[in-house]
Structure 1
Amino acid sequence: MVSSQPKYELIQEVGRGSYGVVYEAVVKRTGARVAVKKIRCHSPENVELALREFWALSSIQSQHPNVIHLEECILQRDQLAQRMNHGSSSPLYLEVRTESSDEISLYFFFLNAVTLVT
């Protein structure tokens, strides 16, 4: 039996993009602070983008300590919810400015992998 009760309490919106919204949230069962990214999947292109992002995060998250850890994906009607550990709330460009050139290369490799269309 699938529970209709939400697992998370959404606290506030922390970011918005072309395909979805990221919220600061709390896991109701444990009280843990997490980020929940809701990606709209109302078209095949959005589903493909969501799956590419999931694949990219899954494949590189263990290779670098600064990559957000993807903890769970939940398919809900026409959206995909990704639960991640709650990272820094500062914009990416501020994080990149303080990193080495190797770190910057990794950030942009990841961004390219997520948005690359074949």
Structure 2
Amino acid sequence: MLVGLSYALGFRGRRTLSDESELVALSQPYGGAREFVMDANGASAIALLHDGRLLLCKVFGNKIVTRVFSRDEIVSVKDFGPDRGDVRRVSFQSQDLGFPTLALEVPHDVLPQWLEDLTRK
């Protein structure tokens, strides 16, 4: 009941990843990133760090949770291909069971080569 009341009064998080500058700031503790791909809805993002590792970012409530993985620690990548026209859905599952699957919805032509390579893993 309290959860419903809180929701009705507007105490709910609508946090999103706003833009690339926020992703640059999130990648700085890990040495910075070469490239980013952000979900069309701002719910998640993946970045290729300068050292070759991957930074996965996901919105949880009002916070953004980040994890860094080597390419080998990404155990599953599913490319669902075009969906609803020119939108492409890609999901990533890591070895960290405490970090849920990260899903991205991106324009079909946005995936850079390093991310295309992961989808063929």
TM-score, scaled to structure 1: 0.33
Q: Greater strand share, 1 or 2? A: 2
Q: Greater helix share, 1 or 2? A: 1
TM-score, scaled to structure 2: 0.32
